[in-house]
A and B are shown apart, each in its own frame.
Chain A
Amino acid sequence: MRTFLLILVAICVLPIVVRPVIATEIWIFAIFGLGLNLLLGYTGLLSFGQSTFFGSAAYVAGWLLKHYGINVFFALGIGVGVGALSALLVGYLCVQRSGLYFIMLTFALNQLFYFIAYQWTSVTGGEDGMQGVPRPTLLALDFKDPMVYYVFVSALFVLSLWVMKRIVESPLGRILQAIRENEVRAAAVGYHAPRFKLLAFVVGGAFSGLAGVLYAMLFGIVPLEAIGFVFSGNVVFATLIGGSGSLYGPIIGSFVFIWLSESMSVVWARWPLLLGVAFVIVVLFFRGGVVEAWHRLAEKFEQWRSSRPAT
């Protein structure tokens, strides 16, 4: 309950502290992270291909929004469906393997989708991305107002969080955790592990799909990067630094990650370099606690910024 209140406070405070667009992006990324965390944190599957579902959903829904002007809820539904369906396809191939193999397969299939999106320029726009995805008006709500859209996304985030909480606390969630702890034993008591892994994959894909559509509507574009492997890596990174063991880890991770990448992209055009360095530094020195890492990094960043002459 206290965490829930904390999240509500965060939702209220965030758009005051940062631009609404970034605030919105944080919650979208948190939904994306929730989906991954069901796999990584609860089932023990490190999927390196989450952007497959994110990107596919964004492309399909974006295309329908653009050319057929569909309803927002319909678009979100399509996104969830596409995310789940693509996760079913990819998951079917991947869940039969575990460990390293699983990671590499999710990655390789991610590349398959990436190259399809890259080459199929008539639909996806290739390297330029799919541009001009509209944000249609729903009833009296004008989503073109960033704040209205922000409220809409945060409401969806709270809904997603609630659904995810129900899932991980349900018998299904327990079975997934049993598989994570000891797959052989879970199989011995009668659970068909691959089938449950696939189910986790599909649910995770649905969350990714939802996030993908929201992302497309937020920026009005589906960039090619949204289906690239770096994007998959980013969400893994965010979830891990937030703490994959807990339901709320991805939320913290999303905060840290979006904040890091946003502040870096302002600083320097070569910001992926800084992001990579942040990856390495976090992994090498700040594995232990996110909160600790957060404080130390923020301190250093502030020091660095104050030492710089004001421009």
Chain B
Amino acid sequence: MLYALMGLGLALVTGVLNIPNFAHGALFAVGAYLLVSLVGVMGNFWIGLVVAPLGVALLGLVIEYAGIRRLYAAGHDYQLLFTFGLALIIPEVIILVWGPVGISHLPPPALRGGVDLGFTFYPKYRLFVMVMAGLLILLTWLFLERTKYGAIMRAGIENKEMVSLLGIDIHRLFTVAFALGAYLAGIAGALIAPIRGLSPQMGADMLGVAFVVVALGGLGNLLGAIAAGLIIGVAQAIVAGHWTEASQAVIFAVMAAVLLVRPQGLFGIR
């Protein structure tokens, strides 16, 4: 579910802005660290969960406004390098602020322990994350499919020139899409913090996954990204149960296998 969330955010940014955002994983990490800090200061998980992703979205806003926007004329290679530079900077800043050692973080008291589902015993927090992620995906989907601005955004993925010819501020659209993508990355990071713990390099691992999800789902296909995220998550869970060492590599192996058969991705049309 979280992979789907990450993939959806990246697919939005990639689709609308036409750049592979290498900073997506770093934004994810920032979300997790912000949550832990906020919980430490406020002592309340829920406030952290609301505020941390907003902070990441704000960071995304700044990145787009101060950096990527200035590089539209320079071409994709430079925008890509810019996000890559950020992907180097952000983990180092995290190390400076929070230290190089990984942090573990407990879920809020209300969500500790597990629930008996009859056939299996499942941690409450993981259930909560699944519900939250599902809800967020649904909300994002509704925003994209049912609101006017969502329709504009989808149109922006299809044909940027046409959208700007119709008198829509394409640059603002880019900013919004980037901030929304950052928000989704941030909340995925915040949600995962109590499950996996935190480390400065957590973003780099997640970045690869997010790229795979987008590539699998088919570029510019948001529903495809969601489906691909679920598939990858399930595949990894199955393999992790039998052969733990391969649980990271399997993600990429699945992608390679699918692309051998369907080079355009599972649901790609382009």
Contacts and interface: CB of A to CB of B under 8 A. Distances in A.
Interface of A: 46, 93, 96-97, 100-101, 103-105, 107-109, 111-112, 115-116, 118-119, 229-230, 233, 236-237, 240, 270, 272-273, 275-280, 283-284, 287
Interface of B: 14, 18-20, 22, 67, 70-71, 74, 76-78, 80-82, 84-93, 95-96, 204, 207-208, 211-212, 214-215, 219, 245-246, 248-249, 252-253, 255-256, 259-260, 263-264
Contacts, number: 117
27 contacts: A46-B80, A93-B256, A96-B263, A97-B264, A100-B14, A103-B20, A105-B259, A108-B215, A109-B256, A112-B253, A119-B248, A229-B204, A233-B81, A233-B88, A236-B81, A237-B81, A240-B77, A240-B81, A270-B95, A272-B92, A273-B92, A276-B88, A276-B90, A277-B85, A277-B89, A284-B67, A284-B71
Contact of B260 (A93, A101, A237, A278): A93
A240 B80 CA distance: 12
Nearest to B82: A283
Nearest to A119: B245
Given A93-B256, A96-B263, A108-B252, A280 B93 contact: no
Given A104-B211, A119-B245, 13 more contacts: A93-B260, A105-B259, A107-B20, A109-B252, A112-B252, A115-B252, A230-B88, A276-B85, A276-B86, A276-B87, A279-B82, A279-B85, A279-B88
Contacts of B215: 101, 104-105, 108
Contacts of A116: 249
Contacts of A278: 85
Nearest to B85: A279
A107 B74 CA distance: 22
A93 B259 contact: yes
A280 B77 contact: no
Contacts of B90: 276
Contacts of A230: 88, 204
Nearest to A232: B84
